[in-house]
Amino acid sequence: MSLADKVLEVNNDLPIRTDEPVHSGKVRSVYWLTTEDSARLIKERNYPVAADAALAIMVISDRISAFECIWQGKGGMRGVPGKGASLNAISNHWFRLFREQGLADSHILEIPHPFVWIVQKARPVMIEAIARQYITGSMWRAYDKGERDFCGISVAEGLRKDQKLPELLITPSTKGILKGIPGVPEQDDVNVTRQDILDNFEAFRFRSKADVDVYEKLLSDGFNLISNSLAALDQVFVDTKFEFGYVSDRDGNEKLIYMDEVGTPDSSRIWDGLSYQASKVVENSKEGFRQALLKHFPEPDILLNKSRIEERKALAADNELPLEIIMGVSETYTQIAQKITGSKITLSDDPKAVIIEILRNEFGLIGE
């Protein structure tokens, strides 16, 4: 069996019993379970949720996305070996620490396979919360052009690229298209201020103004926990994205939780600490792949210019990347996952077949 056969590219075609269409994102696919299967699993597995809670199976893939496109490699490599398992393992690690340290729960109820989560349906807060400890990436590019106001926060003069910021900066943006919010355009991923959120907390799907404070505390506490843990491993936690939502517990009490993924190379920038101390940035996250793409193609403006998205999609569809780029990403993801979790990332010979067998024999979720 070749290495390419161990890559899980298509993850929306599993025969999991569901009454709804499978939702397939850039990396994960979500299978909403039937009402009957949700109720049965809650009872059989003793999940700490309401008896009528909606559950889903979330299956990760090894697909690699960047610049809003899915990329592939030569030799039939339709993803990055070990990427999916690495992302899940890292998220599982941080979610567990968050829970143990008393921060908040996540939407995950059980982990049947390294590629699979059983999750409780959450009501998402319509914010992608970016926390930044260093000035780099898009923030540096805007700063370098003279911008000093970021989501209503004034940033000092005289900062240098990749410098540590005086304090953790929270720069939220909209998740999806929100309507009727004064001064906020009706489009996805628009930067907003804290005052925007407070003045329109219901539009952002917060339960109360007080919960805006809760979300900010969970964000900063979560960031600091990961940052301190990575520092002990000689890694620098540069910036990251958090997502939050509401779920109800067994007694019907609503609570704010972490959701999606946390502290992964896909959702964060992580730098090698010893290299940074020597004034050199070595990426241990997807940013390294983005930089490799910019160097690989002779016209990087196609990747950076939003008005050239159709050209970019064609570029991704028509080009197979050299295997050294794909395997470089594989090494980055598996090594940082092993460093964080302390456990080796192993590749399954046929991940899809193994997932189906587990969900059939142990959970009774495969349609016959």
pLDDT per position as a tens digit, 49-101 = 999 999 999 999 999 999 999 999 999 999 999 999 999 999 999 999 999 99
Domain membership of residue 229 (yes or no) is yes
Q: Does one domain contain both 120 and 11?
A: yes
CATH number of the domain residue 187 falls in: 3.30.470.20
Interhelix angle for 83-100 vs 323-341, to 10°?
Answer: 20
Distance CA 131, CA 128 (A): 10
CATH number of the domain residue 69 falls in: 3.30.200.20
Nearest Cα to Cα of residue 114 among 367, 333, 364, 366? 333
Order the strands of the 116-120 sheet from edge to edge: 23-24, 28-32, 55-60, 116-120, 108-113
pLDDT per position as a tens digit, 150-191 = 998 999 999 999 999 999 999 999 998 888 888 888 888 889
Predicted local confidence at residue 207, as pLDDT: 96
Distance CA 58, CA 337 (A): 20
Domain membership of residue 282 (yes or no) is no
Q: Does one domain contain both 129 and 260?
A: yes
Domain membership of residue 45 (yes or no) is yes
Domain membership of residue 22 (yes or no) is yes
Q: Does one domain contain both 137 and 265?
A: yes
Distance CA 29, CA 59 (A): 5
Q: Taking residues 276-298, what's their average pLDDT? A: 95
Distance CA 318, CA 322 (A): 13
CB under 8 Å to 337, separation ≥6 — which residues? 82, 85, 86, 87, 89, 90, 345
Q: What is the rounded average pLDDT for all residues in the chain?
A: 94
Residues 258, 302 contacting (CB under 8 angstroms)? no
Which of 277, 311, 335 is the last residue before a domain boundary? Answer: 277
Residue 1: is its pLDDT beyond 70?
A: no
Predicted local confidence at residue 156, as pLDDT: 93
Domain ranges, residue 152: 125-277
Q: Does one domain contain both 117 and 139?
A: no
Q: Taking residues 213-230, what's their average pLDDT? A: 97
Q: Taking residues 301-316, what's their average pLDDT? A: 94
Q: Does one domain contain both 182 and 251?
A: yes
Task: Give 252's pLDDT tier (boundaries 50, 70, 90).
Answer: confident
Domain membership of residue 243 (yes or no) is yes
Q: Does one domain contain both 130 and 119?
A: no
pLDDT per position as a tens digit, 8-57 = 999 999 999 999 999 999 999 999 999 999 999 999 999 999 999 999 99
Amino acid at position 243, single letter: E
Domains in the chain: how many in total? 2
